[in-house]
Chains A and B, each alone.
Chain A
Amino acid sequence: MFDLVSFIPRAVVQSIPLLYGATGETLTEKSGNLNLGIPGIMYVGGISGVIGAFLYEQTLASAADANALLVILIPLLSSMLGSLLMGLLYCFLTVNLRANQNVTGLAITTFGIGFGNFFGGSLIKITGSEVPSIALSTTSSYFSKSLPFASKLGWFGQIFLSCGFLAYLAIVIALVSAYVLKRTRVGLQLRAVGESPATADAAGINIKKYKYVATCVGSVIAGLGGLYYVMDYACGVWSNDAFGDRGWLAIALVIFTIWRPNVGVLASFLFGGLYILHSFIPSGTNLSVTELYKMLPYVVTIVVLVITSMRNKRENQPPESLGQPYFREER
């Protein structure tokens, strides 16, 4: 029997990093920057949070000394700082130095994944501490704290209220981004920058500012996805490459939602479900089929990409100038 009550929470947990990544990438792409560095940035966001939390936990005598505010704020801020720096680097290279976006993005992904795995593997040696592995159980217990009455509400509590605060934050951020993009002047101008920078420039919009802000905010949001993964999903244990290809899946999700963060909330649950579907479907003795189920999110994305380009409806297209550099002198 398909166990829905245990399936949904697991799908939700899987979906949150994707939702963060996709919301961040959507904002970035709306400014016309195709940031393929998102997978790397999510690693950096995760590991920066780990480094912050690790250094803080090292200063504590025992877990009981932890200050609830600091234990949350230090990883959160260090994670945001790490991914912000990566976003700034991407912007500096593509906007100021006019470098190719794909190449820059891939370089950032190489660097970011390397950065994450390197510090994940060597943090203990570098800081010279005496612990066997990075297990931030104290920090994690604060991050994954759910509402106290969740367990009393039966299946409802298990499905909707059992997550840590970062999960709800993801949904809030996605909905706010959708609102800003669709209903505010800033969002309108941002979309204008992504669709036709030359027109936006002529209308007096500061292209560089919009690209910088959108990309950096997008990177920070994506980095939170990495933080959520380590602190909540993985219970504060960093293991190398455990984050896997979720960053690319987040980019797939952006296409799947046709650049709408509010659709992303539901679509990420769908993707999260598809991501773990293989362990819930009885495959009998033939284990190989489970590998095919893991292919589903990507196939679904390709289908959406193809259909949107075939139907050619104007509101469903990628931002017109996506991936194109904009130089005023070269119009």
Chain B
Amino acid sequence: MNKKNHVPLIHISKRKALPWYRAWAIRGAAILLALVACALVTMLLTGENPLSIYATMLQGAFGTPRKLWILGQDIAILLCISLAVTPAFKMRFWNIGGEGQVLIGGLATAACMIYLGDVLPNWLLILVMVAASIAAGAIWAVIPAIFKAKWNTNDTLFTLMMNYVATQLVAFSIVWQVPKGTGKLGIINQVTQAGWLPQIGEYKYLLNILIVAALTVGMYVYLNYSKHGYEISVVGESERTARYVGIKVEKVIIRTMLLSGAVCGIAGLLLVGGTNHTITTTIAGGRGFTAVMVSWLAKFNPLAMVFSSFLLVFLDRGASEISTIFRLNHSFGDILTGIILFFIIGSEFFITYQIHFRKFVKEER
């Protein structure tokens, strides 16, 4: 028995596909652990007991009808951007330029509202806004795609840089419009309400939520049941296989990024035309990056993204309530989000892989 044992202490192998309920059980356990860790951190910083902390978080997210609507609105916008970046990710094109594409879409919307607000009838104006925002987002997204398709330019870095070009373009337009102002545009067409997306009944955010719900279903069908969706999956799994079976990879990359940018443009439209009626450089508020995580957490499944975006928005709203009540800085939410993300990111390992310890290996022999 003194012979040297060459079996490593830990041996990792890939699992066969786990049944979905076990995969979700692992994720659930990770989220639970993460919530415990968050409670510990919050306890250390505020000295409150964890139960009252979570009660506060629930209060912050669901407390009043108004808070519920804001929760719904935030989920809708985040979900919309996540839907936008998903087809690109499925193709292994890392579009982290959602932020810029949303901004450009919003900028196009705002420009239409300002310049065409008095010229066109309202229904035509809204149509033009929709077309302009979609076109602007799509153009912004397709620029990196063309270079990726033709010269294999690094997509992550290119889309990342495009964000800041878009931010400065928006900043430029604002100062250009209001040269003597404080860098704020103010509400566009406050009196005429020209170009404001219609409000359903008395619910300010309902239209946004309905549009995004429709987009979610549409994206699910597109990715899972259409020829385009199939081509995207093949390109993502193996570019060589795709070429071999006769898929034009360049065409798929460009087409998918056009779609990705177009949906981001819609998010910009909803933010500028439907919600804020103005534009600032921070209108996307980092959602372009959060969307990457939402999409990835849901394993690129549009329906599962409803839950992952809910989770992230809930955390954000809850943490902002905590920070208000305990008079902490609002960035507390980012810390909690970060902790939960680390746990979920880590948990994916246990879904894909299996760990064998040395003892088990011996028994199997």
Give chain A's interface residues, CB within 8 Å of chain B.
34, 36, 89, 93, 96-100, 102-104, 106-118, 120-122, 125-126, 240, 245, 248, 251-252, 255, 285-292, 294-295, 298-299, 301-302, 305-306, 309-310, 312, 318, 322-323, 329-330
Contact = CB atoms under 8 A, between A and B. Distances in A.
Main SS of the interface on chain B?
helix
B239 interface: no
A34 B156 contact: yes
B24 interface: no
B149 to A, nearest CB: 11
Contacts of A36: 96, 156, 160
17 contacts: A36-B96, A93-B342, A97-B345, A109-B289, A111-B334, A111-B338, A111-B342, A114-B338, A115-B334, A120-B329, A122-B332, A288-B179, A290-B175, A306-B147, A309-B152, A309-B153, A322-B154
B168 A121 contact: no
A327 to B, nearest CB: 9
Interface of B: 12-14, 45, 94, 96, 147, 151-154, 156-158, 160-165, 168-169, 171-173, 175-176, 179, 286, 289-290, 292-293, 296, 327-335, 337-339, 341-342, 345-346, 348-349, 352-353
Nearest to B143: A302
A121 B164 contact: no
A305 B153 contact: yes
Contacts of B165: 295, 298-299, 302
B172 A292 contact: yes
Given A118-B331, A309-B153, 4 more contacts: A117-B330, A121-B328, A286-B179, A291-B175
A271 to B, nearest CB: 12
Contacts of A112: 338
A226 to B, nearest CB: 15
A100 B335 CA distance: 20
Nearest to B334: A114
Nearest to A106: B289
Contacts of B169: 295
A49 to B, nearest CB: 18
Nearest to A98: B349
A115 B345 contact: no
Given A110-B334, A295-B164, A305-B161, A125 B293 contact: no
A291 B164 CA distance: 11
A164 to B, nearest CB: 28
A240 B172 contact: no
Given A114-B332, A126-B45, A240-B331, A305 B349 contact: no
A294 B168 contact: yes
Contacts of B45: 122, 126
B333 A114 contact: yes
A305 B172 contact: no
Contacts of B164: 245, 248, 295, 298
Query: Which 8 A-B pairs give the minimum distances between C-beta atoms?
Result: A114-B334, A111-B338, A121-B329, A117-B331, A295-B168, A288-B175, A291-B172, A97-B349
Contacts of B151: 306, 309-310, 312
B329 A118 contact: yes
B34 to A, nearest CB: 12
Contacts of A100: 296, 345
B12 A118 contact: no
A112 to B, nearest CB: 8
A126 B327 CA distance: 11
Contacts of B176: 288
B157 A305 contact: yes
A9 B97 CA distance: 33
A91 to B, nearest CB: 12
Nearest to A297: B164
Contacts of B330: 117, 121
A118 B342 contact: no
User: Which one of A102, A110, A285, A294 has the greatest number of beta carbons of chain B within 10 Å?
Assistant: A110
Contacts of B286: 110
Given A98-B353, A106-B292, A110-B290, A306 B171 contact: no
B235 to A, nearest CB: 16
Contacts of B171: 291, 294
